[in-house]
Chains A and B, each alone.
Chain A
């Protein structure tokens, strides 16, 4: 169902001409900001960070998908179906991490070419499995935000927008997580994107395979954590909705 929805969201033309250019210009904006500072390596740092963060931006659209079920009146029908709601929703928007992965890869490849980045094209291709990992982990986080949006439909644009910006601010996209005060630094270790992005950086900078694998492993841990939290939250929201009859009205 999720992937059947994808062609109704984008045509190949609207995705390339409209969406990827929009996301590319977002990454470009931050890359130019990095160039303005004149600091050595900052441009490349922000190029990688913001290109990978594109996937997080796109997975946030699962909130809109979730809320659409509410507006179409199909949310209560999903709730009464004999399946776990969290699992249903984790599957419901799977086309978003898929298209986010394609967008992120396209932006990373294009900007690497435009700014003559020091890494090779095959390193960007090798980064694909890591981008898949980031897509999965940020999608689990996005599903939790979708659950919150379902509970408070009024905030359906506020939650995903701030959720995505929190990742951009604190997960090492533009500055290292160690820049922030200790509590924020530690919080960032539990957020998706942080370790996956670090793994991509290690790979592109020719770091040791062990450090790439370690960061990838930590990203898998984060994905599991956010998937678990999402399942729990959906269970609570559905239980609360059943109890107070607010499933179609919250």
Chain B
């Protein structure tokens, strides 16, 4: 029954997103980001940083959809006045949310493929993956952790009055903190410490290492860290969603809160 609900929610979101250009926006912007990053690295004679550009664009796309599309799922329901219907449905809101967020994360992951294609076609880049299995596992865990974090953000956004401002604040500052294109170790210690509390910094380092390094230190421990941070975000998200849902039912201010 839960799987049925999950799939139904995923189907609704998929059909919504493929008809909404704003949900697919990242697919248009990702190739341009790849061009910008690679042009800088090519112009400065740093072919060793190609993986940073390609993987960085993909991670940027994943975080962008987690914040801007998945994070806005409940908010969109509110704007369309369908949030009441979702809340009175006899299934947990968190389950529906997870189903809604999964296809959105798939859109984000497509940016990684796009970036790879742009790098190959426009810059004739050859980027072999040293540890394909590890890279695949790392990517899947990153997507799952992003979906969990998006669940938490979706609940936070509903509690906030200024979602757009928060979404804007969660973009570039977090690209820096997540070390998406440059490693955190290249930043001051305080920034590195703060960034280490963010799952994407672990994911970015691990993905880069799995593509470029001969030996990847403590790979499974790092995967567990990403997964653990994702799980923690999911727990917070589910608790917040329950609180939001209970409060909305108690006050009757579902679309007005």
Binding site for B on A (CB under 8 A): 14, 18-19, 21-22, 25-26, 28-29, 32-39, 42, 46, 154-158, 161-162, 165-166, 168-169, 174-176, 179-180
Contact = CB atoms under 8 A, between A and B. Distances in A.
Given A14-B165, A22-B169, A165-B32, A154 B40 contact: no
B173 interface: yes
Given A14-B165, A32-B187, A154 B39 contact: no
A190 B68 CA distance: 33
Contacts of A166: 32
Contacts of B186: 32, 35-36
Contacts of A14: 165
A169 B45 CA distance: 18
B172 A37 contact: no
Given A36-B186, A37-B44, A162-B29, A168 B36 contact: yes
B29 A165 contact: yes
Q: For chain A, what secondary structure do more than half of its interface residues adopt (helix, strand, loop), or is it mixed?
A: helix
B181 interface: yes
Interface of B: 21-22, 25, 28-29, 32-33, 35-37, 39-46, 49, 52, 165, 168-169, 171-173, 175-176, 181-182, 186-187
Contact of B176 (A19, A29, A46, A169): A29
B175 A29 contact: yes
B171 A175 contact: no
A37 B40 contact: yes
Q: For chain B, what secondary structure do more than half of its interface residues adopt (helix, strand, loop), or is it mixed?
A: helix
Nearest to A42: B44
B29 A36 contact: no
Given A25-B172, A158-B28, A169-B36, A33 B182 contact: yes
Contacts, number: 89
Contact of B165 (A18, A29, A34, A165): A18
Given A157-B25, A179-B43, A174 B32 contact: no
Contact of A161 (B28, B36, B49): B28
The 10 residue pairs across chains A and B that have the minimum distance between CB atoms: A39-B44, A37-B44, A25-B172, A165-B32, A26-B172, A36-B182, A157-B22, A175-B43, A25-B173, A175-B39
B43 A22 contact: no
A21 B172 CA distance: 10
Contact of A154 (B21, B44, B173, B176): B21
Nearest to A179: B43
B115 to A, nearest CB: 14
A9 B181 CA distance: 32
A168 B25 CA distance: 17
Contact of A158 (B25, B43, B176, B182): B25
A210 to B, nearest CB: 27
A174 B36 contact: yes
